[in-house]
Amino acid sequence: MITFSGFVSQTLEILLALAAAPLLTGWINMCRAWLQNRRAPSVWQPYRTLHKLFNKESVVAHHASPVFRGAPYVIWACMTLASAIVPTLSTDLPLSPAADAIALVGLFALARVAISLAAMDVGTAFGTLGARREMLVGFLAEPALLMVLFSASLITQSTLLTRIVETLSHRELAIYPSLAFAGIAFTMVSLAENARLPVDNPTTHLELTMIHEALILEYSGRHLALLEWAASLKLFAYSCIGLALFVPWGIAQAGDPVALLLAIPVLAVKLVVGGALLAVVETTNAKMRIFRVPEFLATAFLLAVIGMLVHFLLGA
């Protein structure tokens, strides 16, 4: 049964994700510029870009199928729903019991399949190249992400992210060896899934290295705006997953409106610190060769599996 407080917290979480996702991207870009001793763009630049793209006309190839036209809407909807499932402000989320961690990974997979099919639909060389690379990354990253989520679910005996947050936030502050391995693996998977360095460079247009940019090269106007917004939502969702698994403190419990209001500045502080750390990681690492990406993600999968084995051996 959906309560009024649950409806409010769920609505607030969705609106916050839609509004704050571009801001997180702008903050990371600003930190990267500062660390590289460059003049930083405004933190509001992603909003200006979205406004410009939404007001431009979309140019679509004559032989493009409905798959190409509908993919941006599917991807944006998947990322919005993923952000709604992850507990960022409160654990009183009506949508959460209907979709656990496994379904969350399924949403990311559905978005990946949609963008890959759309990239191959128009038949350009760059689109096909990007789709193949994207499916390779997803084929290796999704099992590692599942192992990370399973490591946390073994501690809490549940795959629901809300249950995981409730359990971990009420335990005493301690270092769990299994979560330590899982945290490193999640960081590596998050970098790959969000097209960040050292796996991919979201600002490059070099055909030999780009993955994400090759997928959206044929889009323009409102379609490109939705894809850019969806990319920011995906980064926001992955950031909130990491906070829910490894820094769950500050998230409000069900029926606590005061804690819900306090959770907003707490989340803001977490995202500011996390965005700055991500900028440091990207600045201190060079772009790796595309042939090294399987080794990178295989290492992430191995670390996640080690985390599960540590839990079975040590019970922590």
pLDDT at 222: 94
Per-residue pLDDT at 47 exceeds 90: yes
Global pTM value: 0.93
Q: Which of 154, 151, 170 is nearest to 248 (CA)?
A: 170
pLDDT at 207: 62
Q: Which of 262, 281, 233, 182 is nearest to 72 (CA)?
A: 233
Per-residue pLDDT at 21 exceeds 90: yes
Task: Report pLDDT digits (tens) over 195-228.
Answer: 888 888 777 666 666 788 888 888 999 999 999 9
The b/e string for 227-247 (b: 16+ C-beta within 10 A; e otherwise) is: bbbbbbbbbbbbbbbbbbbbb
pLDDT at 241: 93
pLDDT at 278: 94
Q: Which of 270, 276, 265, 269 is nearest to 244 (CA)?
A: 270
Percent of the chain, pLDDT > 70?
A: 96
Residues 6+ away with beta carbon under 8 Å from 265:
none
Residues 6+ away with beta carbon under 8 Å from 109:
138, 142
CA distance 31 to 228: 19
pLDDT at 208: 62
Q: What is the mean pLDDT of residues 274-293?
A: 89
CB hemisphere CA count around 68 (13 angstroms):
21
Per-residue pLDDT at 305 exceeds 80: yes
Which carries the bigger pLDDT value, residue 270 or residue 259?
Answer: 270
Q: Which of 87, 110, 75 is nearest to 13 (CA)?
A: 87
CA distance 175 to 53: 45
Q: What is the mean pLDDT of residues 253-271?
A: 85
Which carries the bigger pLDDT value, residue 293 or residue 175?
Answer: 293
pLDDT at 185: 94
H/E element holding 85? helix 66-85
- DSSP state letter for 65: -
pLDDT at 52: 96
- Confidence category of residue 4, pLDDT binned at 50, 70, 90: confident
Per-residue pLDDT at 117 exceeds 90: yes
Long-range Cβ pairs for the range 195-199 (8 Å, 24+): 195/231, 196/278, 196/281, 196/282, 197/281, 197/282, 197/285, 197/286, 197/287, 198/282, 198/285, 198/286, 198/287, 198/288, 198/296, 199/137, 199/288, 199/293, 199/296
Structural domain count, the chain? 1
Helix axes 221-246, 101-121, angle to 10 degrees: 160
Lowest mean pLDDT among 18-22, 47-51, 194-198, 240-244: 194-198
Q: What is the mean pLDDT of residues 37-49?
A: 93
Per-residue pLDDT at 30 exceeds 70: yes
Q: What is the mean pLDDT of residues 71-78?
A: 96
Which carries the bigger pLDDT value, residue 97 or residue 239?
Answer: 239
User: What's the mean pLDDT when you consider all of the chain?
Assistant: 88
Q: Which of 20, 10, 24, 14 is nearest to 190 (CA)?
A: 24
And the tokens for 133? 């690379």
Domain, as residue range, for 223: 4-314
Per-residue pLDDT at 189 exceeds 80: yes
- Confidence category of residue 174, pLDDT binned at 50, 70, 90: low
